[in-house]
Structure 1
Amino acid sequence: MKRYSIKTTNRTMVFPKQRTKENGLIFFIILTVSALCISLTGTIKAQTLPPFLDGSYDRWADSVFHTMDPAERIAQLIMIPAYSNKDQVHVDSISGLVKQYGVGGIIFFQGGPVRQAHMINRFQQEAKVPLMISLDGEWGLGMRLDSTMRFPYQMALGGIDDEQLLYDMGAEIARQSKRAGIHVNFAPVVDINNNANNPVIGFRSFGEEKENVAKKSLAYMKGMQDNHVLASAKHFPGHGDTNVDSHYGLPVIHFSKQRLEEVELYPFRELIGEGLGSIMVAHMNIPVLDDTPDLASTLSRPIVTGLLKEKMGYEGLVFTDALNMQGVAKFYEPGMVDVKALLAGNDMLLNTMDVKATIREIKAAINRGEITQEEIDRRVMKVLKAKAWVGLDNWQPVETENLIDDLNPPHAQYLNRRLVEASLTLLGNRDHLLPLQRLDTLRIAALSMGTDEVTAFQKGLLRYAPVDFYNFPKETDLEALVRLKEDLGKYNLVLVGIHGLGIRAGNNNYGITPEMNVFLKELAEAHRTVVSVFGNVYSLENIQGLEKADGLIAAYQESSLTQDLTSQLIFGGIGGKGRLPVHVSPQLRMGDGLPSEGGFRMSYSQPEAFGMRSDDLKGIDSLVHMAIREKAIPGAQVLVAKEGKVIYHKAFGHHTYDSLQAVALDDLYDMASITKISTSLAAFMHLRGEGKFDENETLGTYLPMVRGTNKENLKYTDILTHQARLRSWIPFWQSTVRKSGKFKWFTMKNDSTRRFPIRVAQNLYIHRKYGDKIYKEILDSPLNPEPGYVYSDLSFILAPKVVEEITGENFYAYLKKNLYDPLGAASLTFNPYQNYPLSRIVATEVDESFRHQLLHGTVHDEGAAMLGGISGHAGLFGTANDLAKLMHLYLYDGVYAGERLIAPGVVSAFSKCRFCEDGNYRALGFDRPNKPGDPNGNAAASAPESSFGHTGFTGTYTWIDPENQLVYVFLSNRVHPTRENRKLYQLNIRTEVLETVYKAMNQAGYKK
Structure 2
Amino acid sequence: MNKVIKIFTGIISLFLICTTHLGAVEPPFLKFSNDEWVNKQLDSMTIDEKIAQLMMLTAYPTQNDASKNKVIEQIKKYKPGGVLVMQGGPVKTTSWINEFQENSKTPLLIAIDGEWGLSMRIDSTVEYPYAQAIGAIKYDAFVYQMGRDIGNQLKDMGIHMNFAPVADVNTNPENPVINFRSFGEDKKNVANKAWQVAKGMQDVGVIPVAKHFPGHGDTHHDSHKTLPVLTHSKERMDTLESFPFRYLAEMGISGIMSAHLDVPSLDDSGTPSSLSKKIITDYLKNEIGFSGFVVTDAINMQGVRTQSGNAELEALKAGNDLIEFVPDLNKAIESVKNGIVRGELSTAEIDEKCRKILALKRWVNLNEYQPTDIKYLRHRLHSPYFEMTSRQLVKGALTVLKNTDNILPVEHLDSFRIASISIGSDNITTFQRRLEKYTVVDHYFLPKDASEKDLSRLHVLMEDYNLVIAGIQGINVYPSRQYGTTEIQRRAVSELTRKNNSIAVFFGNAYAMKHFENIENVQGLILAYQNNELTQELAAQLVFGANQANGRLPVTVDSRFQLNDSIEVASNSTLSYTIPEEVGVNSGQLEKKIDSIALLGVEKEAYPGCQVLIAKDGKVIFHKCYGYQTYEKEQQVKKENLYDWASLTKVTGPLPALMKLVDKKEMNLDAPFSNYWADFDGSNKRNITVREVLAHQARLASWIPFWQMTLDKQKHLSSSVFKHTPSSEFNVRVSSNLYMNNHFRKIMYDTIRDSKLLPRSRYLYSGLSFYLYPDIISNITGESYEEYLKKNFYLPLGAYTITYNPYKYFPMEDIIPTEKDDFFRMGTIRGYVHDEGAAMMGGISGNAGLFGTTNDLAKLFQMYLQKGYFGGRRYISEKTVNEFIRIQYPNNSNRRGLGFDKPLTDNNKNSLKDAYPAIDASANSFGHSGFTGTFAWADPDNGLLYIFMSNRVHPTRENQKLYQLNIRTAMHQAIYDCLKDN
TM-score by length of 1: 0.91
Q: Which among 954, 970, 974 is matched to residue 992 of structure 1?
A: 970
CA distance in structure 1 between the partners assigned to 2:345 and 2:644 by the alignment: 81
1-side partners of 2:59 and 2:711: how far apart?
78
**1:823 and 2:797 correspond:** yes
Deviation track 1:203-226 (CA, whole Å, cap 9, x = no partner) reads 111111111111111111111111
**Larger displacement relative to structure 2 (304-313 or 940-949):** 304-313
Which stretch has the larger CA shift, 805-814 or 51-60? 51-60
Structure 1 position 202, deviation (Å): 1.0
Among 173, 176, 196, which residue is 2:150 paired with? 173
Aligned to 2:126: 149
Is 2:521 the partner of 1:548? yes
Aligned-pair distance for 1:909?
0.9
Q: Deviations over 1:474-532 (max 9, x none)?
A: 122222222211221122111111111111122x2223332233333333332221111
Matched, 1:949 2:924: no
The 5 A counterparts of 1:73-84 are 73-84=50-61
Take 2:944 and 2:804, find their aligned partners in 1: how far apart are those partners? 27
**C-alpha distance in 2, partners of 1:737/1:942?**
47
Q: 1:79 to 1:864 in 2, by over 3 A?
A: same
> 1:534: how far off?
0.8
Instruction: Verify the 8 A CA contact 1:57 1:388 in the aligned structure 2.
Output: no
Corresponding residue number in structure 1 for 2:222: 245
The 1:709/1:215 distance shift into structure 2, 3 A limit, reads same
Q: 1:128 — aligned with what?
A: 105
Given that residues 690 and 903 in structure 1 are in contact (C-alpha distance below 8 angstroms), is that contact kept between their aligned partners in structure 2? no
1:812 partner letter: E
Q: Distance in 1 between matches of 2:143 and 2:847?
A: 52
Q: Post-superposition shift, 1:743? A: 4.6
1:946-1005 C-alpha deviation (Å, 9 max, x unpaired): 21111111221111222233222222222233222222222323233332333333334x
- Contact 1:194–1:241 (CA<8 Å) still a contact in 2? yes
Q: Which residue of 2 aligns with 1:383?
A: 357
Q: State the distance in 1 between where 2:28 and 2:77 align.
A: 31
Moved more, 674-683 or 520-529: 520-529
Instruction: Give CA deviations for 1:763-787 in whole Å, capped at 9, x if unaligned.
Output: 4444444444443443444334554
Amino acid at match of 2:195: L
Residues 562-711 of structure 1 mapped to structure 2, 5 A cutoff: 562-618=535-591, 619-711=593-685
Which shows bigger deviation, 518-527 or 235-244? 518-527
Q: Go from structure 1 to structure 2 and tell me whether the alpha carbon gap of 1:104 and 1:572 turns closer, same or farther (over 3 Å shift).
A: same
1:301 and 2:277 correspond: yes
- How do residues 776-815 of structure 1 correspond to structure 2 at under 5 angstroms? 776-785=750-759, 787-815=761-789
Amino acid at match of 2:528: A
Aligned residue type for 1:570: V
| Residue identity in the other structure for 2:887 | C
Shift of 1:540: 1.5
Distance 1:128 1:753, change over 3 A: farther
Contact 1:434/1:572, CA 8 A, preserved across alignment: yes
Residue type matched to 1:322 in 2?
A
Identity of aligned residues (%): 44
User: Which of 391, 399, 405 in structure 2 is aligned with 1:431?
Assistant: 405
Q: What are the residue-to-residue correspondences of 1:335-346 with 2, within 5 Å?
A: 336-346=310-320
Matching residue within 1001, 1004, 1007 for 2:979: 1001
Secondary structure, aligned partner of 2:529 = coil
Query: In the aligned structure 2, how far is the partner of 1:790 from the partner of 1:968?
Result: 25
TM-fit CA distance, 1:257: 1.6
Counterparts of residues 748-897 of structure 1 (less than 5 Å):
748-752=722-726, 755-785=729-759, 787-897=761-871
Tell me which amino acid in the other structure corresponds to 1:54.
K
Counterpart secondary structure, 1:502: coil
1:324 and 2:300 correspond: yes
Deviates further, 681-690 or 44-53: 44-53
Q: Secondary structure at the match of 2:793?
A: helix
Partner of 1:22: none
Q: What is the 5 A alignment of 1:104-143? A: 104-143=81-120
In 2 relative to 1, CA 482–773 (structure 1 residues): closer, same or farther, beyond 3 Å? farther
44 and 594 in structure 1: CA distance in 2 versus 1, 3 angstrom threshold: closer
| Two-structure CA RMSD over aligned residues (Å) | 2.3
Shift of 1:367: 3.0
Q: Distance in 2 between matches of 1:615 and 1:896?
A: 30
SS at structure 2 position matched to 1:327: coil
For residues 576 and 139 of structure 2, what CA distance do their matches in structure 1 show?
21
Matches within 5 A, 1:303-452: 303-329=279-305, 336-452=310-426
Q: Which amino acid aligns with 1:46?
A: G
Q: What does residue 212 of structure 1 align with?
A: 189
- State how far apart, in whole Å, the 2-side matches of 1:55 and 1:385 are: 5
**What displacement does 1:705 show?**
4.0
Whichever residue aligns with residue 653 of structure 1, its letter is: G
Q: What is the CA distance between 1:752 and its match in structure 2?
A: 4.9
- Contact between 2:482 and 2:515, CA under 8 Å: does it hold in 1? yes
Deviates more, 1:841-850 or 1:155-164: 841-850
1:32-51 correspondence to structure 2 within 5 Å = 46-51=23-28
Instruction: Answer whether contact 2:497 2:504 (CA < 8 A) is retained.
Output: no
CA separation of 1:943 and 1:371: change in aligned 2, threshold 3 A? same
Which residue number in structure 1 is paired with residue 262 of structure 2?
285
Q: How many corresponding residue pairs?
A: 958
Q: 1:15-56 deviations in whole A, cap 9, x for unaligned? A: xxxxxxxxxxxxxxxxxxxxxxxxxxxx99512222111147
Kindly provide the amino acid, as one letter, of the partner of residue 664 in structure 2: E
Deviations 1:899-947 (A, max 9, x none): 2222441121111111110111111111011142023222211112121
Q: Contact conserved, 2:763 with 2:892, CA < 8 A, in 1? A: no
Q: Within 1, Cα distance between the matches of 2:485 and 2:291?
A: 46
Check conservation: 2:32, 2:362, Cα contact below 8 A: no
In structure 1, how many angstroms separate the alpha carbons of the residues matched to 2:712 and 2:333?
100
Deviates most, 757-766 or 945-954 = 757-766
SS of equivalent to 1:917: helix
| 1:320 Cα deviation after fit | 1.4
Q: Which residue of 2 aligns with 1:493?
A: 467
Query: Matched residue of 1:232: which SS?
Result: strand
Alpha-carbon separation, structure 2, partners of 1:282 and 1:753: 86
Change in CA separation of 1:524 and 1:696 when aligned onto 2, cut-off 3 Å? same
Cα pair distance change 1:296/1:852, threshold 3 Å: farther
* Unpaired stretches in structure 2, ≥5 consecutive residues: 1-19
8 A Cα contact 1:517 1:545, kept in partner: no
Aligned partners of 1:479 and 1:458: how far apart in 2? Answer: 23
User: 2:511 aligned with 1:534, yes or no?
Assistant: no
Residue 738 of structure 1: CA displacement? 6.3
Q: Distance in 2 between matches of 1:117 and 1:919?
A: 65
Shift of 1:746: 4.1
Is the alpha carbon distance of 1:847 and 1:67 closer, same or farther for their aligned partners in structure 2, counting shifts above 3 Å? farther
Partner of 1:977: 955
1:17 paired residue number = none
CA separation of 1:662 and 1:57: change in aligned 2, threshold 3 A: farther
Equivalent position to 1:53, from 21, 30, 35: 30
| Alignment partner of 1:195 is 2:192 | no
1:689 touches 1:904 (CA, 8 Å); kept in 2? no
Deviates more, 1:93-102 or 1:817-826: 93-102
Change (3 A) 1:44 1:139: closer
Instruction: State the AA in 2 paired with 1:603.
Output: S
One-letter amino acid of the counterpart of residue 111, structure 1 = G
The 10-residue stretch of structure 1 (442-451 or 738-747) with the greater mean CA deviation from structure 2: 738-747
Moved more, 810-819 or 373-382: 373-382
Q: Give the 3-state SS of the residue equivalent to 2:772 in structure 1.
A: helix
